[in-house]
Chain A
Amino acid sequence: MSLLQSTQFRPDPSTSTTRRALLRAWPEFQNPAAWLVALILVIMPLIANGFFLIEIFATTLILGVIALSLMFLAGYGGMVSLMQLTIAGFAGYMVAVFGVSGNANISLGWPWWLATPMALALATLFGTLGGALAVRTEGIYTIMITLAIGAAFYYFTNQNWAIFNGHTGINTVATPHFWGVDWRTDIAFYYVTLGVAAICYFAVQYVSRAPFGLALQGVRDNPRRMAALGFNPNAHRIAAYAFAAFIAALGGVLQVWNYRQISPGSVSVGACIDVLIIAVVGGITRPIGPFIGALIFVLLRTFALDVLIKLGLDGNRFRLLIGLGFLAIVFWSSDGVIGLWERWRRRNASSTQRSGGGRHG
């Protein structure tokens, strides 16, 4: 259970104060399952070959990071932003534009250590500005504004040839190469991705329990009361957008390094909604949710066609299988896979020991 830190603040009454403070901040340290998952992720290159390592696990981690930024906004801030993938794509485009690529007439050819921070900074700025627009609205209007930003960016990249190279996009984007290591070789890239995903995961978890995160959850639950207490709800929300934009930008940089190319298809409206699906399927109540959702999404996307053909059905209908899979998950659990698992744990706990029940508020 404690692998999955809930968005709801939960004190644990059983330990000494310093230990309790530590455990409150990092509850996964006391859970053997978390250590096991971490161990498996670290030794993954020994288990999985290139395809599973990159196309499944690294891709899962990248999409998970992007969806994590949405989970942060939606879970802690109550703001469903559909532009997280757009921010990621913007960062990817900026890496391609400032860095080195096959389109010499567009790319400025900066080294990666200059181009990447520039891309992250610009994407964070872009996300913050988008957030500043969106915070004036709530609920469905936030969704609409952020979707509009995503759609506008998609059509802009599709038709702008001076910077974004239109529908063709930017090909052969250079990847970092330093300390004698080509960081785009499968194993090195996997570890880069894993490192970034871990940092983002712990950062989100830390922020969610830092004063800023608590205030943000307060803003989510009752903005008027928070304003009366002297907090500035809009400033908190914009800061949350900035933080989420930075995370999404990291995911975007990894994504462009992964495929070595970027084109409008990467930032299409469909892809924006994919990120929402990932977050919802995984569950937006805990930071681990987006990663679980991303794994399910990537597995379905990759193998649905093969499964249908194996079953002797028309492979052309594989999108249907993907849709049905998501429908099933959302139908049986409105808070995603995390919710399913939580309920299962709770049922187990209450049947074995009475005291285990009722923990979840």
Chain B
Amino acid sequence: MLKSSLGLIALSSLLLSGTAFAQEKIKVGVTATLEGTYTVLGEDGMRGHQTALNVLGKKIGDKELEFIVASTDATPDSAVRAVRKLIEQDKVQILLSPLSGDEGIAVKNFAKTHPELTFVNAASGAQETTYVDPAPNFFRYNMDGAQWQVGLGKYAYETKGYRKIATVGEDYSFIYTQVFGLVLEFCGAGGQVTNRQWVPLGTKDFASVIAALPDDVDAIYLGLGGADAVNFLNQYQQAGGKAHLMGGSIMIDQTILSSKGSAKNALIGTIAASGQADTWEDPGWQKFVKAYQDSFPESKRFPSPSLLATNYYGSTMALILALRQVNGDLSNNQAKLKDALAKIEIDAPNGKIKLDANRQAIGTNFVTEVVDDGKGALFSKVVKVIPNVNQTLGYDPAVFAKIGLPSRTVPECKKY
């Protein structure tokens, strides 16, 4: 009698604890630009995130991850609003946010008001986010815009023989960071950047920009993204533009290369640099591309993942692996998780990634050239792989600090 009732109690407590554990969830808030100019980028970012969940699963020991998505429109205000909603209403414990450059700066500053939570950057790439006054609970597993341009300047100067270029870019922090990386290297090699044009994010009419493009340059660098890039290419083609082009990381990307219409054909042969190359032979990359393609029907994805999908994949992967290392332990203001995140080294599809003292990624960069695969689809073909790119781009930190923060006019076109 006693035995059987004891057994019953043991059994029921086991069952109870079982259900209690099964219900324990770790809530993670995700933001993506599902509105505005960068909608396409946000959507593909979410595909990358979903691919990571399909590959890695949502289980952390006996806990399960629950993801809550909020939408932004690439403005810092919308990002702060979305993050606040996730924290205050949905009570998320971890943030996977945000996508775009200025959003990153705003969310990093916001992260300081919630030191107990953990923020994993999803894809934003402004330099300032982790370089100036970084937040101790903000981790970035993708490189910044300047790191993503490493190799392009030298390749343009030495292999392509470009001597003078002009730039057109969206007028905000991420593109400043990209142009920063390009100018440092290109001018360092001896090239000249004669003209830098800046257009507001969300520009529809590029007529005046195209008219003002100088004729006496060897190539024009385009730092545009999303709808802006497609609009520019359409209008550039209609205006009969024929210059050599160079592209930024979100310009030469599947978000543009697989857009509808023929305007993208202006990009064939364009050289670019980015944190990924569509046709890289690496088995890890090929496996990721396959997983991405298997996760979604062909009409609802790009032929190959965009940089945003790769970034969301990498950040989701880092978060899940770190959570598994600490077995989902979020006690003591998530101290163990933060420690694990800072130390973790991930085998991301686009190469090994580890963090520096500012919790900024050190990773691999790719110089690419746009090719037609013969069936009308465009891909970026890798021409050069540069491993171990750090945030100071190989410069001595003291020298790098003297260059100043990326802006419309910084850096000057000279050898530092």
Contact = CB atoms under 8 A, between A and B. Distances in A.
A168 B408 contact: no
B102 A167 contact: yes
A348 B167 CA distance: 68
Contact of A166 (B78, B133, B172): B172
A263 B85 contact: no
Interface in A211-231: none
Given A55-B88, A168-B102, A265-B76, 18 more contacts: A49-B88, A51-B88, A51-B89, A52-B89, A55-B85, A55-B89, A102-B133, A166-B172, A167-B172, A261-B80, A263-B77, A263-B106, A265-B73, A266-B77, A268-B75, A315-B69, A315-B71, A318-B71
Interface stretch (A6-14, A122-130, A154-162, A288-296): A154-162
Interface in B182-200: 198, 200
B105 A171 contact: yes
B41 interface: no
Interface string A2-34: 000000000000000000000000000000000
Contacts of A260: 109-110, 113
A347 interface: no
Interface in A140-183: 155, 158-159, 161, 166-169, 171-172
A54 B43 CA distance: 29
Nearest to A268: B75
A80 to B, nearest CB: 25
A102 B75 contact: no
Contacts of B274: none
A64 interface: no
A166 B101 CA distance: 13
Contacts of A167: 75, 102, 171-173, 200-201
Contacts of B88: 49-51, 54-55
A171 B407 contact: no
Interface residues of B, number: 34
Interface residues of A, number: 33
A265 B171 CA distance: 14
B143 interface: no
A259 B84 CA distance: 9
Given A51-B89, A168-B172, A171-B109, A261 B200 contact: no
Interface in A24-67: 49-52, 54-55
A302 B82 CA distance: 9
29 contacts: A51-B88, A52-B89, A55-B85, A55-B88, A102-B109, A159-B200, A161-B408, A166-B172, A167-B75, A167-B171, A168-B105, A168-B172, A169-B76, A169-B102, A169-B106, A171-B106, A172-B109, A172-B112, A261-B76, A261-B77, A261-B106, A261-B110, A263-B102, A265-B77, A266-B77, A268-B75, A302-B89, A316-B43, A318-B71
A51 B70 CA distance: 15
B81 interface: yes
Nearest to A50: B88
A159 to B, nearest CB: 6
Contacts of B73: 265
A120 B84 CA distance: 27
Interface in B74-97: 75-78, 80-81, 84-85, 88-89
Contacts of A262: 77
A265 B109 contact: no
Interface string B123-136: 00000000001000
B36 to A, nearest CB: 9
B34 interface: yes
B356 interface: no
Contacts, number: 87
Interface string A248-273: 00000000000111111110100000
B395 to A, nearest CB: 23
Interface string A81-122: 000000000000000000000100000000000000000000
A158 B171 contact: yes
A151 to B, nearest CB: 11
B33 to A, nearest CB: 11
A343 interface: no
B62 interface: no
A169 B102 CA distance: 8
7 smallest beta-carbon distances between A and B, as pairs: A265-B75, A51-B88, A167-B172, A51-B89, A265-B77, A171-B109, A263-B76
B35 interface: yes
A261 B75 CA distance: 12
Contacts of B71: 305, 315-316, 318
A50 B200 CA distance: 35
Contact of B200 (A155, A169, A302, A315): A155
A291 B201 CA distance: 32
Contacts of B39: 316
A261 B171 CA distance: 19
A263 B103 CA distance: 10
Residue among A54, A158, A168 with max Cβ neighbours from chain B (10 Å): A168
A259 B105 CA distance: 14
Contacts of A54: 88
